[in-house]
A and B are shown apart, each in its own frame.
Chain A
Amino acid sequence: GQQLNQSPQSMFIQEGEDVSMNCTSSSIFNTWLWYKQDPGEGPVLLIALYKAGELTSNGRLTAQFGITRKDSFLNISASIPSDVGIYFCAGQGQGQYGNKLVFGAGTILRVKS
Chain B
Amino acid sequence: SAVISQKPSRDICQRGTSLTIQCQVDSQVTMMFWYRQQPGQSLTLIATANQGSEATYESGFVIDKFPISRPNLTFSTLTVSNMSPEDSSIYLCSVRLQEKLFFGSGTQLSVL
Shortest 4 CB-CB distances between A and B: which pairs?
A42-B103, A103-B42, A42-B106, A103-B43
Q: Which of A33, A40, A41, A103 lies in contact with B100, CB distance below 8 A? A: A33
* Nearest residue, chain A, Cβ from B96: A99
Is A53 in the interface zone, CB < 8 Å from B? no
Chain A interface (Cβ < 8 Å from any Cβ of B)? 31, 33, 35, 40-45, 48, 50, 88, 90, 92, 99-101, 103-106
* Nearest residue, chain A, Cβ from B9: A40
Q: Which of B4, B45, B106 lies in contact with A101, CB distance below 8 A? A: B45
CB atoms of A90 and B106 under 8 A apart: no
CB atoms of B42 and A104 under 8 A apart: yes
- CB-defined contacts of A92 to chain B, threshold 8 Å: 99
Q: Once bound together, how far apart are the Cα atoms of A99 and B100, in whole Å?
A: 11
Q: Once bound together, how far apart are the Cα atoms of A110 and B100, in whole Å?
A: 27
Q: List 6 A-B contacts (CB under 8 A).
A: A33-B100, A41-B106, A42-B103, A43-B103, A88-B43, A105-B42
CB atoms of B104 and A42 under 8 A apart: yes
CB atoms of A45 and B42 under 8 A apart: no
- CB-defined contacts of B43 to chain A, threshold 8 Å: 43, 88, 103
- CB-defined contacts of A106 to chain B, threshold 8 Å: 42
- CB-defined contacts of B57 to chain A, threshold 8 Å: none
